[in-house]
Structure 1
Amino acid sequence: MARWGRLRPLGLGGSDTTPRPGAAVRAAVGRLRRGWLPVVEATLAATVAWVLATRLVGHPQPFFAPAAALIVLGQARGQRLRRAVEVVLGVAAGVLVADLVVQALGPHASWTVFTVILLTVALAVAVGASSVTVVQAAVSALYLVVVAPPTETLVPFRFVDALIGGGVAIVASLLIDARRPLAPLVAEFRHTFEELAGVLDEIATALDRTDAEAALAALERARHADAGVERLRGAVQAAGEALWLHVRRRQHLGRLRSVESSIRQIDYAVRNVRVLARAAVTLTRGPAPVPPELGAAVRTLAGAVRSAGDALAADLTGQDEIADRHAERADVAALEAVRAAGRLFTPGQTLPLAMIIGQVRATAIDLLRGVGADDDASVLTRVDTAVAGPPD
């Protein structure tokens, strides 16, 4: 079955609350608890780079070994394998240029600073480096000229240090996910779909109660969904990097490419839900009554979203039978949501109600395209049939 990418959880929340004593400390502790792995990763990688440069190369002050490791680890996961090489070579080249220029012109001279910056930036631009890498390379070279003591040998210790630090960082970032390279991506998929389903549940509750404030809270939460899609793209790239060195799991690369190609469909679903939430705000604030069946239809759609997320997560881990069962549940629930909403599409309904019905249909189409093997024409036919009346 052709399966798609998932929606990542939106790190959204409701309105800000009044700060309480100790809230900042608790928030800091919570962030540290969730982000302890990058702290350990950066500390160990920088330390190992220092030890290797000291013991293997014999450089007494290998500043650029841990510095390059930290620069590479500063790149987002999913970009490290591609951009880390660029960063390492850019920083290393800057260091090498600075070393050679210092040998020729001496340190702390204006012409030395001018020449080093000119050559380093020109070299980085010539090889197509990103703006971030250009700056990193230039700063590394400038540090060598202005701060670091000059060397009395032409041996490019600092160039080697930068390569060691960058190499250690790349290996460290890949080893973190070596045992379970797809686990972070699977968790991200589950979180994303659960978050989107949570938005739909909030909308359904607001419709049930004709609660405009609850609808506004759901809309605010939905507005953060785009950031979730971007996080999902990053998670897919990070999983691809992890699989690249995991020989026994490279068969999953095909599944990963399938997921990556479906992220656009997820983006559509996120936008549809946001429009649905906006229409719910208008409907709950207006004088027209909210049909009691509308909330149930939206809640059924939330169930379809959860099943779609479970299907994709199972598909990524090779659990095909489980994935098929979840996909079937998503299929049934999506069509039932369309059918229930379609029964409310009667002459004289308000524009916000019509918009909600339309977005339920559009979101269901996105789900069916993601978890089903049918082509677009078949999906549209099935959805239109569900809108028109009860199942055969």
Structure 2
Amino acid sequence: MHPSTADATAPRSEGFLASVHRAPEAARRWAAQGVRRMQRGFMPAVQMTICAVSAYFFAHMVLGHSGPLFAATSSLIALGFGVDSHISRVIEVSAGCTLGILIGELLHTVAGTGLWVAALVLMISILLARFLDPSSILTTQMGLQSLLVILLPAPDGGPFTRSLDAVVGGTFALIIVALWPQDPRKQSHSEVRDALNEFAGVLRECAGALAYADSRMAWHALIRARGMQPTLDKLNKAVAQAREISRISPLYLRHRTEIQELRESLNYLDLAIRNARIFARRLSSAITHASMPPETEGELSHIIELTAESVEALALGLGEASAGVRNRQMRRARLGLNDVASRLSPEQLGIRSLEGETLVLILRPMIVDLLEASGLSHDEAREHLPDLPPAP
């Protein structure tokens, strides 16, 4: 073999051997992830199984339908397998399934069978599924259901028996979600922790920008704060779903107050994050123009670092299911924010420049918002701020 060919082949051989050696570890990771998915999916799987079997049993034994396949399939589609299985979604998907089957049965009754009828029904069902939900799985399932309406022989009970089966399936899915939902707080707690920890990260970048007089770091904090919007949207959606379930499900009626308090806190958190974006933008300008002495920048950096620690405590409080732990963390957050609020005076910080004063004035309402998110009223939160000198 030519030496150059051998040299080129050697790295490929080494890479292949390394891949072989890594294969067992990759397989173990894959298996571990699969086990975790199975563990998380165990209760939803039980719910879906009970729902489908119950719907089939009711349609067959009570209504007397022969082989009510669509009762089972409609219940499975309506219930779904994700955290998004909430009341309004179940109603929407159930209505969509029933309407898709009804359209199929109408066309089947009027036009009979045939390739063009199947194509028309399939097209309508797919478009209807896309209207209801962006999920590709729902589109596939509804398309399959409508296709089965055309391809399977008509049942003995009449032309619209399958539509009634779909109603039965959707009803059972609704009953399961209402009477046996997943803990509505679980997703909300996870999302609020993620959002507030990200917010704390934004504040720490602002603190670092001041500590190192780095305007680029402040600008990066601004970009990061702006990028929080999808996280906030997910959080609001999770809380809305939790509130919906807690108002309907007897199992979680006792959590309505907690979820309502979390919902109210989100309004103040949204305002605080908006103020943080404004702060980061003005901070970049202030650092660029060197408008504050180093000792003032250091003090302000320390204040923002303390704020980040309080936000992390707030994350632990709002994201905790245990009332005792939640109350302790909320008290810790309030104490930290009270300390920060008491320092927010341009005069106390020795700030003389207009840009420096502006930064402090932006921080003041942000801290008030965070204090309100921790459970204080607006007046109680404002009491912790030092008075500003009267305007000349």
State TM-score, norm by structure 2: 0.69
For the Cα contact (< 8 Å) 1:95–1:159, is it kept in 2? Answer: yes
Q: Are the structure 2 counterparts of residues 328 and 241 from structure 1 closer, same or farther at C-alpha, using a change threshold of 3 Å?
A: same
Structure 2 equivalent of residue 12 of structure 1? none
**Range with bigger deviation, 260-269 or 285-294:** 285-294
Structure 2 equivalent of residue 236 of structure 1? 239
SS in 1 for 2:385: helix
Q: Distance between the aligned counterparts of 1:233 and 1:92, measured in 2?
A: 30
In the TM superposition, residue 208 of structure 1 has moved relative to its aligned partner by 0.8
Aligned residues: 353
In the TM superposition, residue 269 of structure 1 has moved relative to its aligned partner by 0.8
Structure 2 equivalent of residue 132 of structure 1? 132
Q: Are the structure 2 counterparts of residues 172 and 201 from structure 1 closer, same or farther at C-alpha, using a change threshold of 3 Å?
A: farther
Structure 1 equivalent of residue 352 of structure 2? 347
What per-residue deviation string (whole Å, max 9, x for no partner) do you get for residues 58-92 of structure 1?
75582673355235427863x72123123213322
Residue 273 (structure 2) pairs with residue 267 (structure 1)? no
**Range with bigger deviation, 244-253 or 363-372:** 244-253
Within 5 Å, give how 1:321-340 maps onto structure 2.
Answer: 322=328, 325-326=331-332, 328-339=334-345
Q: Distance between the aligned counterparts of 2:168 and 2:368, measured in 1?
A: 50
* Larger-Rg structure: 2
Within 5 Å, give how 1:240-259 maps onto structure 2.
Answer: 240-244=243-247, 246-247=249-250, 249-259=252-262
**Aligned AA (2:332):** H
Q: Are the structure 2 counterparts of residues 43 and 382 from structure 1 closer, same or farther at C-alpha, using a change threshold of 3 Å?
A: closer
For residue 306 of structure 2, the aligned residue among 293, 300, 304 is 300
For the Cα contact (< 8 Å) 2:214–2:287, is it kept in 1? Answer: yes
Q: Unmatched 5+ residue regions in structure 2? A: 1-18
For the Cα contact (< 8 Å) 1:204–1:295, is it kept in 2? Answer: yes
Residue 187 (structure 2) pairs with residue 184 (structure 1)? yes
Q: Distance between the aligned counterparts of 1:285 and 1:140, measured in 2?
A: 61
Structure 2 equivalent of residue 143 of structure 1? 147
For residue 201 of structure 2, the aligned residue among 185, 198, 210 is 198
Q: Distance between the aligned counterparts of 1:64 and 1:242, measured in 2?
A: 24
Within 5 Å, give how 1:5-84 maps onto structure 2.
Answer: 51-52=53-54, 57=60, 60=67, 62=69, 65-66=72-73, 68-73=75-80, 77=84, 80-84=86-90
For the Cα contact (< 8 Å) 2:210–2:301, is it kept in 1? Answer: yes
Q: Distance between the aligned counterparts of 2:358 and 2:349, measured in 1?
A: 12
State TM-score, norm by structure 1: 0.69
For the Cα contact (< 8 Å) 2:207–2:301, is it kept in 1? Answer: yes
Structure 2 equivalent of residue 3 of structure 1? none
Q: Distance between the aligned counterparts of 2:202 and 2:258, measured in 1?
A: 28
- Percent identical pairs in the alignment equals 21
**Aligned AA (2:385):** V
What per-residue deviation string (whole Å, max 9, x for no partner) do you get for residues 180-217 of structure 1?
54343334333332221122112212221223443343
Within 5 Å, give how 1:202-213 maps onto structure 2.
Answer: 202-213=205-216
Q: Are the structure 2 counterparts of residues 99 and 366 from structure 1 closer, same or farther at C-alpha, using a change threshold of 3 Å?
A: same
In the TM superposition, residue 95 of structure 1 has moved relative to its aligned partner by 1.4
In the TM superposition, residue 329 of structure 1 has moved relative to its aligned partner by 1.2
Residue 89 (structure 2) pairs with residue 86 (structure 1)? no
Q: Are the structure 2 counterparts of residues 220 and 38 from structure 1 closer, same or farther at C-alpha, using a change threshold of 3 Å?
A: farther
For the Cα contact (< 8 Å) 1:338–1:383, is it kept in 2? Answer: yes
In the TM superposition, residue 102 of structure 1 has moved relative to its aligned partner by 1.7
Q: Distance between the aligned counterparts of 2:306 and 2:270, measured in 1?
A: 20
For the Cα contact (< 8 Å) 1:45–1:168, is it kept in 2? Answer: no
- Which structure shows the higher helix fraction? 2
Structure 2 equivalent of residue 374 of structure 1? 377
For the Cα contact (< 8 Å) 1:185–1:236, is it kept in 2? Answer: yes
For the Cα contact (< 8 Å) 1:49–1:164, is it kept in 2? Answer: no
What per-residue deviation string (whole Å, max 9, x for no partner) do you get for residues 273-323 of structure 1?
122222333344445555221211111221232333344456983768536
Q: Are the structure 2 counterparts of residues 49 and 270 from structure 1 closer, same or farther at C-alpha, using a change threshold of 3 Å?
A: same
Residue 108 (structure 2) pairs with residue 102 (structure 1)? yes
Q: Distance between the aligned counterparts of 2:298 and 2:309, measured in 1?
A: 18
For residue 358 of structure 1, the aligned residue among 358, 361, 382 is 361
Q: Are the structure 2 counterparts of residues 321 and 38 from structure 1 closer, same or farther at C-alpha, using a change threshold of 3 Å?
A: closer
For the Cα contact (< 8 Å) 2:372–2:381, is it kept in 1? Answer: yes
Q: Unmatched 5+ residue regions in structure 1? A: 1-20
